[in-house]
Structure 1
Amino acid sequence: MKFINDVNFKHSFFKDIIRIDYVADMPLQCINDYGYSYIMFRFGDLEAYDYQNNSIEIPKVFVKGIGDFFNVKAYKNCTWISVELPNHSFHNITNLVAKKYRNKLIDLYDYVDATILDQLYYEIYESQTIETITQTLDKHLNKFYSTRNLNLDSTMIVNYIYSQKGLLPVSTLSEKFPFGERSIDRMFNIEVGSSPHNFICLIRFNFIIRELEKQNYNSMEELIKKYNYYDHSHFEKDFKKFLGQSINSYKNDFNPLLSQALQREYSKL
């Protein structure tokens, strides 16, 4: 598996871009959700299964919002190109109620003219570096950036949760921002795709699992305490919720796709 990214990547709209070329067949690999939105390009044979192990149809170009973990099986000579976007982009692109479309891969051809996407799809596959992929995206999609990256009411709250690494109670949100608890719940349902509580838990998990991956801690007890988990069983519960496996299974699992993803910078405010 050839994993191509740029650690110094900067863009006015995209948070990150990754290209994955498979040089051999790969078994099922679990991927957790990061709380972002994505435009993704599929080239070749790939299989995807949701958190309930249901097969997911994969359009050749799709947009995805927040969801649960899923599993991907890839075959030799296939390619993923993943364009990471701000969380609010899914709702901006589709105008769908985000929570109703959790775990759905929405065909981008329903929202962008086919002649544009056909040319983009062909050219982006020929782009072998993050720089040329970015240039290709800009060439074909630049006119959409201003509307697709429009901040929503949820944007500043989502960014605040990232900045706090998910280490805050839900009640803090209505105290800090000019919205009541019910308004925030409704806002997250429509724009984010998750309840505020679950989103906070997801962000916290994504920060702690990166420290676990990098072995950036002296003891598991210290790490659990740092991220405000009650105890080991509380942390184990989040593992099963966000990765579908136990901590020990994760440590013993061969999953280079997840390991590569966890090595990248997470919060890009």
Structure 2
Amino acid sequence: MEFINKPNFEHSFFNDIVRINYNCEAAPQVINDFGYSYIMIRYGYFEARNNQGEYIAIPRIFTKCTGDFFSVKAATNSSWISIELPNGAFHNITKLITKNQRNKLIDLYDYIPAEILDTLYVALENENEIEKITALVDKSLESYYSNWMVPLDSQPMVDYIFNKKGLLETIELSEKFPFSSRTIERIFHKEVGASPYRFICLVRFNHIIRELLENKYDSIDSLTKDYEYFDQSHFEKDFKKFMGQGVKQYKDDFNPLLTKALSRVYHETN
């Protein structure tokens, strides 16, 4: 598997762009959610299953919101390009109630003319340089960015959660922002794709799993305490919720896709 990205990637809209090329068939690998929206472009054959083990149809160009873990199996000479967007971009692109689209891959052809996407698809097929991929995507889609970047009520709260690494209680959001707890729930349902509590847990989990990957901790107990888990069993519960497996199974399994994804710098909001 060839994992191509650009360190210190910068863009006015995208958080990151990654290309993954499979030179041989890859067994199913679990990938968890990182709390962002995505546009993804598929080349070749993949099989994907959701967190219930059900097959998911994969459009060749699709957008995805925050959801649950899933598994993906790739055929030889397949590849995909993953364009990571701010969390609220999915809602701005589709105008859909985001929580109702969890674990769905929404065909971008429903929102952008086929001639634009067809041209982009052909242009990107054999391009492996991130700078050139970015330029080609901008050329095709830049006219849409202003609408996709429209400020949402959820965005300051999402940024706050990311900046605090998920180390907060949900009540802090209604204390910090001019919304009641009930209104915040509705905003997250519409724009984020997860409840405030689940999103906070997801962000915290993604920070702790990076430290687990880097092996820069004295013990699991000390690591979980640093991230305000009650105990190791509380952490195990989150691990199974967001990864579909226990800590030991994760550490025993070979999962280069997740390892590469986690090794990138977690996007910092401003």
User: TM (normalized to structure 2)?
Assistant: 0.99
Aligned-partner Cα distance in 1 for 2:11–2:40: 17
**Aligned residue for 2:190?**
190
Aligned-partner Cα distance in 1 for 2:242–2:266: 16
Deviations 1:151-190 (A, max 9, x none): 2000000000000000000000000000110110000000
**Aligned residue for 1:46?**
46
What letter is aligned with 2:93? I
**Aligned residue for 2:223?**
223
Does residue 5 of the first structure (1) align with residue 5 of the second (2)? Answer: yes
Does residue 240 of the first structure (1) align with residue 231 of the second (2)? Answer: no
**Aligned residue for 1:253?**
253
What letter is aligned with 1:251? K
**Aligned residue for 1:127?**
127
CA contact (8 A) 1:37 1:84 kept: yes
CA contact (8 A) 1:28 1:72 kept: yes
CA contact (8 A) 1:64 1:105 kept: yes
Any stretches of 5+ residues in structure 1 without a counterpart?
Answer: none
What letter is aligned with 2:12? S
Does residue 88 of the first structure (1) align with residue 69 of the second (2)? Answer: no
**Aligned residue for 2:15?**
15
**Aligned residue for 1:152?**
152
SS of residue in 2 equivalent to 1:63: strand
Deviations 1:114-143 (A, max 9, x none): 000000011011321100000000110010
Aligned-partner Cα distance in 1 for 2:190–2:139: 31
Aligned-partner Cα distance in 2 for 1:226–1:165: 11
Aligned-partner Cα distance in 1 for 2:68–2:220: 25
Aligned-partner Cα distance in 1 for 2:120–2:84: 17
CA contact (8 A) 2:92 2:149 kept: yes
Q: Aligned pairs, how many?
A: 269
Aligned-partner Cα distance in 1 for 2:147–2:73: 34
Mapping for residues 33-112 of structure 1, pairs under 5 Å: 33-112=33-112
Deviations 1:9-48 (A, max 9, x none): 0000000000000000000000000000000000001000
What letter is aligned with 1:67? G
- How high is the sequence identity, in percent, across the aligned residues? 56
Deviations 1:176-217 (A, max 9, x none): 000110110000000001100000000000000000001121
Aligned-partner Cα distance in 1 for 2:127–2:157: 35
User: TM (normalized to structure 1)?
Assistant: 0.99
CA contact (8 A) 2:31 2:71 kept: yes
Any stretches of 5+ residues in structure 2 without a counterpart?
Answer: none
What letter is aligned with 1:159? D
Deviations 1:205-254 (A, max 9, x none): 00000000011211111100000000000000000000000000000011
